[in-house]
Amino acid sequence: MFQWSPCLLVLALTTISISACATTSEETECKSMIHEPAEDLFLEEIHGDRALQWVKDHNARSLDRLQSDPRFEPIKSQTLKILNSPDKLLQVTFREDYAYNFWRDAKNQRGLWRRTKIKDFLKKKPKWETLIDFDKLAETEKENWVYGGVVAFKNRALVSLSRGGKDAKVVREFDTETKQFITDGFSLPESKSRLAWIDEDTIFVAPAIDADDLTDSGYPRKVFVLKRGQSLEQGTLVFEGDKSNVSVGGSTVRDEESGPAKHRLVYRSLDFFNNEYYLLRNGQTLKLPVPTTAEPSFDEDSLYVELKEEWSRGDATYTAGSLLRFNLEDLLADGNAPAELLFKPSHEKILSSFFVHRGRRFLLLSEHVTLHLYELIGDKLKPIQIADNASIGLSSYSKSQNLLIVSAEGFLKPETRFVFDLTKNTISEFDQQPARFDATPYEVNQHFATSPDGTRVPYYVVGKKNSSRGPRPAIIHAYGGFEVSQRPHYSASIELGWLKNDGVWVLANIRGGGEYGPDWHRAALKEKRQKAFDDFHAVAEDLIQRKITTAQQLGIVGGSNGGLLTGVAFTQRPDLYEAAAVQVPLLDMMRYHLLLAGASWMGEYGNPEDPVIREAILKYSPYQNVKADVNYPEVFFMTSTADDRVHPGHARRMAAKMERQGHPFLYYENIEGGHGGAANYEQTALWVALEYVYFQQKLMDKK
């Protein structure tokens, strides 16, 4: 089965020029807010000498304090030991007879791309065959290469190489049989281009190299078909988007993994959540007659459509979150062809994802945040029992081998893998991540807070048993955007840095995420963004009301969109939070659309040059709302110089403004690492240790 998801990830873009504000009278006001104050705009020069010196000075001050804490080194060293552990679970991708794996440990810090036969992998006797040693490659080429993923077909792979963890990547063609990069093979210079195989000698290329290639967002605007031996200039242009689109790309649908392309497709993203899809047939470009917000996928003669908003067609109206099936050819011939309703969501059961295997349909449903697996037989849902009190995930799938690897984990349950034999219809435990801590002292509870508009917001509380001991230090983590769901997950670092010291960990499932389907996400879109922040504050207040913690013991953490969330939280309610780790954040929402990936997120946040959106943004944007005469917690800003997705200027300028206003803060910027903050395990361990030492200092140390 092939499933489209062109905008599931928040991807990297280039800086763009601003468009005109709504009217002439508003233009001066709008632009003054976007460009003022000039005194800290130098910090948006990512590699500017003055900006980097500012970073080094603030890094030194923060690192001196946190690294000198006697708790720092034990947390860092133990985290690194866990990350490098040889017994950690293997993440694999199945292709034909092989299981492919990217592996890192203390010896292989940049990692190995390797493979073994699936039959040996399932017997737990893998005979690993190294395809690329990235440490050796980086040393030989004197480059700071970070593995950026592969797009494989038969014995060929388009390998992406990232410098320091950036989203922009160099692409080279690799032969998995000879284990060599192919001289004069398919290749692209460092860029945010997109590629897909059509056959062994033909690829789709959506280049993002020259200015004419790009949308206003900095993504590819054109799709070419490129034959082996052709230069990009010799490729055939098959699709062209508009400058105002976010991006375009191409892909294929195959009945079998290494079979011929059954369908050739192109798409264009109108914004982050609206996409148009086209089939390329006999020189024609046929648009799929489905809503732009829907997610289509293909299997055999069927087109499956997952709805993200209500859709009325003919006499029928289908709710957001429904799953429909069409006969593809019938739909192309007649846009009013009948639909088969396979699944309709309820508040208790929300479609998270699905897949189809040779006519069998499997649905992963979210039930109050936790995921459960079902098979859809006719119009009945048959539960597939995997594990009790755990959230289920789909790990790896092989159509040719008729098998699925299913995972199950919880806050206190290490991930366990199960082999689902789709031929024999049997499920057997395959492997389990070793327990990194004794879970017996801890418990997990789910509560619901009530937001100001009456919405019940779920959140999990993880901590030591016997809550009668009174309020304890707590950290709330949340994301609340882009329909990204936060699920229970096993984390040794949370126990190591927090739970073992009698801290409480909280996961808040606020609106803006996808825990309750598309409507849960859309409730906090654009001018309704404050709903997500209200939910977050409501969770904090509920924790205090339940005497789980106090405002003086409460910290918050979030990254990317979660960094915006934590930035808003401490500026709106400084009375409610004692500490805030604001990681790779968006903070100046009047300028976010001008910086790197920002333009592509206007589908989520709206355009600040629109008067309605601007009014909403100005009420919550942290940079515009931090005040000199308000007492804020000592915030810890964490970001990365190499982040070419969310501009480090957000964190830099917010910290600089708070410094001018006389507020205390800590600041750490990793010179590499991309949007993930770290390019290798050593950097990840450093990041984790800095975060938890900060929280322990602020929330656990006696004052």
Say how far apart CA 306 and CA 322 lie, in whole Å.
6
Task: Please report the DSSP string for 543-586 in residue order.
Answer: HHHTTS--GGGEEEEEETHHHHHHHHHHHH-TTT-SEEEEES--
Name the DSSP letter for residue 402: T
Cβ pair 22, 611 in contact under 8 A:
yes
Say how far apart CA 97 and CA 94 lie, in whole Å.
7
Active site residue 263: no
Name the DSSP letter for residue 542: H
Between CA 10 and CA 14, with CA 11 as vertex, the angle to 5 degrees is 130
Say how far apart CA 133 and CA 138 lie, in whole Å.
9
Cβ pair 213, 220 in contact under 8 A:
yes
- Alpha carbon distances (Å) from 439 to 414, 477, 489, 493: 10, 20, 13, 13
Cβ pair 268, 243 in contact under 8 A:
no
How many other CB atoms are there within 10 angstroms of residue 70's CB atom?
7
- Residue 432: alpha-carbon gap to chain centroid: 25
3 state DSSP class of 618: helix
Query: CB under 8 Å to 81, separation ≥6 — which residues?
Result: none
Task: Please report the DSSP string for 451-510 in residue order.
Answer: -TTS-EEEEEEEEES-GGG----EEEE----TT--------HHHHHHTGGGT-EEEEE--
Q: Which of 209, 181, 210 is nearest to 193 (CA)?
A: 209
Instruction: Classify the C-alpha dihedral 252-255-256-261 as positive or negative.
Output: negative
Say how far apart CA 186 and CA 198 lie, in whole Å.
13
Which tokens go with 270? 């109108």
Active site residue 675: yes
Residues forming beta bridges with residue 204, ordered by sequence position: 196, 225
Query: CB under 8 Å to 206, separation ≥6 — which residues?
Result: 193, 194, 195, 220, 222, 223, 224, 247, 248, 249, 250
Please tell me which residue in 160, 407, 560, 600 is annotated as part of the active site. Answer: 560
Q: Residues with catalytic annotation? A: 560, 675
